[in-house]
Amino acid sequence: MKIYNSYILTVAVLLLLTTIILISFGQNSLDVYYTIYILEALVVTELYVYFNAKARRGLNLVSAILFGGFLVIVSLRVIEILA
């Protein structure tokens, strides 16, 4: 399952690099971290077009969960602004 390992390694390296870069920029907002993480995960998942159908379904579910988390963050921000 070389494609799985390659995909996981790509996502892991990207997320860690992002964390290091954001820390070095002094970023202190968890929302920014999370938003960039899910954007990267979604883009990498879309780039791996040759996954089998079962793996694609599983990753789509993960993407949906991550996107749900993003919507929660946006909703909290909207409520904060309105309040």
**CA 73/CA 70 separation, integer angstroms:** 5
Nearer to another protein, 50 or 80 (CB): 50
**Closer by beta carbon to another protein, 64 or else 82:** 64
Q: Which residues bind another protein (CB under 8 A)?
A: 1-4, 7-8, 11-12, 15-16, 19, 22-23, 27-30, 33-34, 37-38, 41, 50-55, 58-59, 61-62, 65-66
Phi-psi region of 74 (alpha: psi -120 to 50; beta: other; left: phi over 0): alpha
Minimal distance, residue 79 CB to another protein, in Å: 19
Q: Which two tokens stand for residue 6?
A: 């390659």
Pick 1 or 81: Cβ nearer another protein: 1
Residue 67: its H or E element: helix 53-82
